[in-house]
Amino acid sequence: MPRRRVARPTAPPLRTSTEARAHKADGEWMVRTLQGSSTKEYRCPGCSQLIRRGLAHLVVWPVEKALLSEAAIDERRHWHTACWARKH
């Protein structure tokens, strides 16, 4: 009699990230590097192209919140690493 296969749960994607502060012409920013852990697609504000699922990229938000925002993290955007590097 053949053995019955038991489905094993798949491991969640590896989530590794680092955070740092960056200075650009338009202010101070918090920058978090994501290493291929995204489960959805995002649109990069630098090039307007999609950041595909699982692609390493950056999450960026201002250190100081905008006047009408509850918190600075509410203003976070997902950027391609190269697009953020080109931003002045």
pLDDT(4) > 80: no
For residue range 18-63, list pLDDT tens digits in order: 899 999 999 999 999 999 878 899 999 999 999 999 999 999 999 9
| Domain extent for 63 | 17-86
Higher pLDDT, 75 or 16: 75
Does residue 59 fall inside a structural domain? yes
In DSSP notation, 28-57 reads EEEEEEE-S--SS-EE-TTT--EE-TT--E
Please state the rounded mean pLDDT for residues 70-88: 92
Does residue 47 fall inside a structural domain? yes
- Total structural domains in the chain? 1
CA distance 5 to 28: 54
Does residue 1 fall inside a structural domain? no
Listed residue (27, 88, 21, 26) closest to 58, CA to CA:
21
pTM of the model: 0.74
**Amino acid at position 76, single letter:** R
Q: Residue 58, Cβ neighbours under 10 Å: how many?
A: 24
Model pLDDT, residue 6: 63
pLDDT band (50, 70, 90) for residue 65: confident
Model pLDDT, residue 11: 46
Does residue 6 fall inside a structural domain? no
Q: Are 16 and 35 in contact (CB under 8 A)?
A: yes
Model pLDDT, residue 14: 46
